[in-house]
Structure 1
């Protein structure tokens, strides 16, 4: 059995366990699979009721038809819990419901509300903080080096079954997100120098491995989006690259003018990259509305994810461009100020012979008059204030 097959089996078991923890004991509903166990709609309503009891009258649910139960659960989850509606009653109230579709739908609840079906055993932590810290560290490092490393080998392989692989990605991402809470807790302790057992080399190893696995998980999604048919695949590539563009930022250096130039370069690159964003948006929503492209039916969770990310991208890149303009002028003002302060320190030095005084006077006239120091500074400061105001408004401040 391959690492991916083992992961699929474990992911299915984990999702069944999460569902059991969420509803079996409280409602007496036995979930043995992702097929017939869900046909009457009781399990879907029970999950919603576990998360928000006020949304569902469970006594009524037990007396309703499967179709009514399913419609109630799907519409309530979408309207009140933010769970995209991936299923209709007709998809589930059949002799053999599609397991993949039901697993994909239920996995959304796990991702959004993991605490609803959390294993009670996870709350039983060691009374010794040092022991618990090492347990958390060892468990996370072991997972990163074994299961995560093995599963992510798929990133370098071609896509054969996009629906299955996208579901594999969602399951793996849900597990990565679950473990991120442990990583963040360890990061907070280590960066604050408050770790009890974890040494700096141990933390560096964990941090490097975590970043590598997170990056490769990101590349997996990029691969799946780019594998969509025809122009839609090009859109997926454009969207992922656009998200990368938003994360670019200059390195912090001592040369303020150099940093200012780097901000200007990033601004120009951003404007060039996003110049066709409106046409990409129009194209994508036309395809999403059709539900298929070039004769291929599209995976709804993937299309919903693309839509959400596209909205975020289109909202963020104009704000980032305004931020880049502000940062460029800020660095130019700082560069001019540093230059003026450095020269002023020279002028404040002890005067020497006449030639040195004359040279200093010439430098002064060149810097203050020829280069129009005060006019330049006032102009840059005024522009900086304007850019700051535009950026603050775009950021809702």
Structure 2
């Protein structure tokens, strides 16, 4: 009788300890806050921001990174000698570098050569290394090759985001939102508004609402240059734009595997100038700087609330505060950068200010 045994007791013990370490990070981190956005109470509609900026690595991507590491560990893809590789120049790379360092593993972020020094510094601060690629379209291919060359593991957030998260519960972002709304005057939101980068968050929220038999609808807001809106509108999942998004964390030039269109009830295409104008206006209202994708989210939320008001409906809307604006001092909050991008914020700023004063929105 022949036996083939690939079990290494030392490696298995390391994986068990690694899972415990990652789980402990979640256990000692308090849940993120659900912040009310100030709207006139007489409108009868409440708006909330799920503040993901308070995670240890400062963004919504902390949840994704944790889930991807657990998924890789439990699948046997990550071991004590693995080099972790990811295609990301933004918040996902920062968060994955954090967890890799926690486990004592090297981390490499593959990113375009045009990535700002500020982003590179954030990743390096968490112990990661940045591998720059001249052609942005080849970042994913290069990440796969690098992982093979290093004998490491390519995390592949764009494929595994929707399946790495436990969408039925386990304190995922959807379960947390509903629990925190329990004592509010409209505890079941009419809409939850999110952007799509990998598509993992929209998949989790859309699935959870259906699983819990809740009437909440999911709206996905999409920035310029992203293929998601075009693909969803035309039911053409091969749609591409060939251009990257200026709004970090959301928007993709092609439809990624993690995006689940069937759980999306509505999509809104948001001009980049509208995202930044809303970001700036909302930052002044809240007294803190928000990131660009939060501006995209709020533009969509304001649109939906105005429609609810016009229809005489009351209720609640929830969206995400994805990260803080401190990371974007030299871009989204720089008038020089905005002008260099050819963006004119003033017309959109007027729309937002009129909404905040009257609750109306242009048709």
Q: Report TM bin, short chain.
A: under 0.3
Q: Taking CA–CA contacts closer than 8 Å with sequence separation of 6 or more, which of the two structures ends up with the larger relative contact order?
A: 2
- The structure whose residues are more often helix, as a share, is 1
- The structure whose residues are more often strand, as a share, is 2
Task: Specify the structure having the higher radius of gyration (Cα).
Answer: 1
Q: Structure 2 length as normaliser, TM-score?
A: 0.27
